[in-house]
Structures are given as C-alpha cells and as structure tokens.
C-alpha cells in the first residue's frame, strides 16, 4: 500500500464528515477508494455520493450494472475491484460463466439482451474510446437514453475507482489471491 490510510481519529473535520456520511449511506461503510480520496475531502464526498447513486439507483438491477463494473475492473486489471464486485455480481444473480468469460477476456453468452448490450457498450467505451453510431442507436433503443448515460457513468466512475485502487496498491483481504492476469 503506497498510501497511509487515515483512521477516524486522524482525520480533520472535513475528512471525518465525509467518512461519517459514508457510514450512514446505503453501503453502511466507507468504500475502499474513498479512504484514499479523503486526501481531497470534497472530491471524496462527491465521488462517494456518485458511487452510491451508480451502485444503488440506476435503472439496472445488480446483475446488469455489475457487467459494466466487471468489464471496467477487467480492463484496468484492478484486482481489488474485481474481488469486491465479483462477489456483488454473484449475489445479484449474475451467472458464474459470464463472470469467468469477462475475467478471461472472452465474450460471454447472455440470456438477457440488455446484459449483452451493456457488455458491448462497456467494451466499446474502454477499447474504442467511445460508441459508434450503430451500437449507440441499438443501445438507446434497448436500454433507453438514461440507460446509456448510466452505463457510461458506471464505466467512468469505476475507471476512477480502478485507477485509485491500482495506483495506491490496495491489497486484497488476507487469504485472497488475484484472479486477473
């Protein structure tokens, strides 16, 4: 770990307010990257709020939103992010073979056309740095404009999360081994 994470007793007032707000939020605990972001308390506050919206308040159920998150974690080879969201994807009802395919950089087989579309949009965003017109039009038709905006938000937010976790070398919990190569 490249950064000393502050304990609540070491935080200044602004950091502590952000930390306390995260505990009372839907997560019930501070998300791991927020502990690094606390070095910029305003950024931490806003990023954590955005993350809560993207985790809990999109139009997608967890098994769909987690597709975009896992594609992002895989793109960045973010071990901690993969570890955390693989568990959330499974708990949300995602099939293990979809998770394994994303991990192995293979295109998964989806029963749900929305899942395939989220995957295609997320891959396009990361690999193509955007979404070409045909895919965009199909995505809007299937996911709605709000859905496309939220997939972009998920990929963008979890890119920032992945960059934070990778840069500061957040370690996996004891006994866990990296699944991404």
Which residues in the chain land under pLDDT 50?
Answer: none
Q: Report pLDDT for 166.
A: 97
Please state the φ and ψ torsions of residue 66, each to the nearest 5 degrees.
-65, -20
Q: Report pLDDT for 30.
A: 87
The Cα–Cα gap between 120 and 122 comes to 6
The Cα–Cα gap between 114 and 120 comes to 10
CATH number for 62-168 (one of 2.30.22.10, 1.20.1290.10, 1.10.150.120, 3.40.50.980): it is 1.20.1290.10
Q: Is 51 exposed, middle or buried (0-12, 13-18, 19+ CB in 10 A)?
A: buried
> What dihedral do alpha carbons 176, 177, 178, 179 form, nearest 10°?
-100
Task: Write out the two tokens for 22.
Answer: 């995260």
Q: Which regions of the chain carry the CATH code 1.20.1290.10?
A: 62-168
Q: How many CB atoms lie within 10 A of CB 42?
A: 10
Is residue 175 within 8 A of residue 85, CB to CB? The reply is: no
pTM, two decimal places: 0.95
């Amino acid at each position: 770990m490249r950064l000393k994470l502050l304990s609540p007793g070491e935080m200044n007032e602004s950091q502590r307010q952000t930390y306390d707000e995260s505990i009372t939020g839907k997560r019930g605990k501070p998300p791991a990257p927020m502990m690094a972001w606390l070095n910029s308390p305003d950024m931490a506050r806003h990023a954590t709020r955005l993350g809560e919206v993207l985790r809990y308040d999109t139009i997608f159920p967890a098994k769909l939103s987690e597709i975009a998150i896992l594609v992002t974690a895989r793109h960045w080879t973010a071990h901690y992010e993969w570890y955390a969201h693989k568990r959330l994807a499974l708990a949300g009802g995602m099939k293990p073979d979809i998770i394994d395919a994303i991990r192995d950089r293979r295109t998964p087989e989806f029963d749900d056309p929305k899942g395939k579309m989220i995957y295609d949009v997320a891959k396009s965003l990361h690999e193509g740095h955007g979404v070409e017109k045909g895919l965009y039009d199909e995505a809007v038709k299937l996911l709605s404009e709000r859905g496309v905006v939220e997939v972009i938000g998920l990929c963008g937010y979890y890119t920032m999360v992945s960059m934070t976790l990778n840069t500061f070398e957040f370690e996996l919990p004891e006994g866990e081994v990296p699944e991404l190569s």
